[in-house]
Amino acid sequence: MSKQLIVSQKQKFSDWQEKNIQNFSIDLSFAEVPESERTKHVHRLHPYLGKFIPQLVEVFLKKYFQPGQMILDPFVGSGTTLIEANLLNMSSVGVELSEFSYLITKVKTQKYSVELVEKEILDILNKTKEFSRKIQKNQRSLFEDWSFEPSEYFKNWYHPRAIKEIYFYRSLIPNYQNQDILKIILSRSARSARQIPHYDLARPKKPVKEKYWCLKHKQYCEPINNAIKFITRYSLDTIKRIKEFDKLRTSAKIILLQGDARKIKLPVKKESDGIFTSPPYLGLINYHEQHRYAYELFNFKEYPEAEIGSPNKNGNDNKERYKKDIIAVFRNMNNYLKSGAKIFIVVNDKHHLYPQIGKECGYKIVDVFHRPVLMRTERDNNKFSESIYYFVKEG
């Protein structure tokens, strides 16, 4: 990158920062917010590439909406908007096409008997620990009186011991009431237990089967050979996070629906006060492949034809098709929005599609805010930018 381009980019970021501080009294890059706050309580129950940080949602909801109002999110993803709306005592309705993303958000937002959750998580964990000890000692036991056939994906990306521990845990899940929570714990563990470089969890290219130089730890590391350490870690972490959110949540209603936002019917009348959402970025992330381990474990249905903007083989990332699909979503949401409703769309709009999308949906553009985004989950830690379009529904 040339020095002139670097200087120009820094000036652009500086101009954005000045405008954002004037409007929100805060820098919307949130560069100074520690990782623990970016991923507080249930926001980190499961990694999810591409989600916006909760502080961004909080800032906009606080400035432009009031407690008691209703917020829509037609692209729920991992549920950030719904959670932050609840914390601010705002009702919310969310729609998600992906069964896996829907599950993540359902687990984050559902109200639980915290005591039962802790009891069940610890019970299945202890059974799996005992099983793990026995297979390490090659002991035959009642715990091994079960059969399973791992998929080719698991045979390729996991150590044999990790496969046994993961599949054994999965076999126990039907014995418990809080099965969805246990699925999320196992999915999160399976993500970490893959035989991949420690520094490349987000976009691994191939499994590693031998010792390798680790860019994260600056030393030679061995390929991961078990899953139980992650199952243990994430079991305890999940209990902690669910307890934290249970103490903070309000009584504001959360309605979560699994389906296609282009045509789904919402169980609310024309009473919603606005939208805060982040549509899929055109051609950037294939969410099915991002979470292939979960799809293999739980046989989630895939929707390759319907997935908006995905860089798959179905042409979903064609610009005109993308624009048409996004317009269809917001036109459908218009059926549930009040006149004058405020719409905030967070997107990396490198093709400048959203001014036209807004016009086609009957929205008047009020403002556009920009922010640099630190890609903290990516190895290169580069910056890219997001735009937050502020529209108002006319008529």
Query: Would you state the pLDDT for residue 283?
Result: 64
- The CB-side HSE value for 301 (13 A sphere, CA atoms) comes to 8
- Of 3.40.50.150, 3.20.20.10, 3.20.20.100, 3.40.50.720, the CATH number of 3-99+249-290+301-393 is 3.40.50.150
Query: Would you state the pLDDT for residue 309?
Result: 75
Mean pLDDT to the nearest integer, 111-121: 98
Quote the radius of gyration of the chain (alpha carbons, Å): 22
pLDDT in tens, 360-382: 999 999 999 999 886 544 444 45
Of 41-45, 87-91, 263-267, 308-312, the range with the lowest mean pLDDT is: 308-312
Q: Which residues contact 36 (CB under 8 A, 6 or more apart)?
A: none
Give residue limits of the domains in the chain.
Answer: 3-99+249-290+301-393, 114-245
Q: Collapsing DSSP states into helix, strand and coil, what is residue 149?
A: coil
pLDDT in tens, 36-60: 898 999 999 998 877 789 999 999 9
Of 192-196, 202-206, 347-351, the range with the lowest mean pLDDT is: 202-206
Q: What angle do CA 110, 112, 116 make, to 5 degrees?
A: 145
Distance CA 158, CA 167 (A): 12
Whole-model pTM: value is: 0.91
DSSP of 26-44, one letter per residue? S-TT-TTS-HHHHT-GGGG
Query: Quick one: how far is CA 375 from the chain centroid?
Result: 14
With 60 as the cut, is the pLDDT of residue 145 above it?
no
> Quick check: 309 and 284 in contact, CB under 8 A?
yes
Of 143-147, 243-247, 314-318, the range with the lowest mean pLDDT is: 143-147
pLDDT in tens, 130-143: 999 988 887 555 44
221, β-bridge pairs: 212
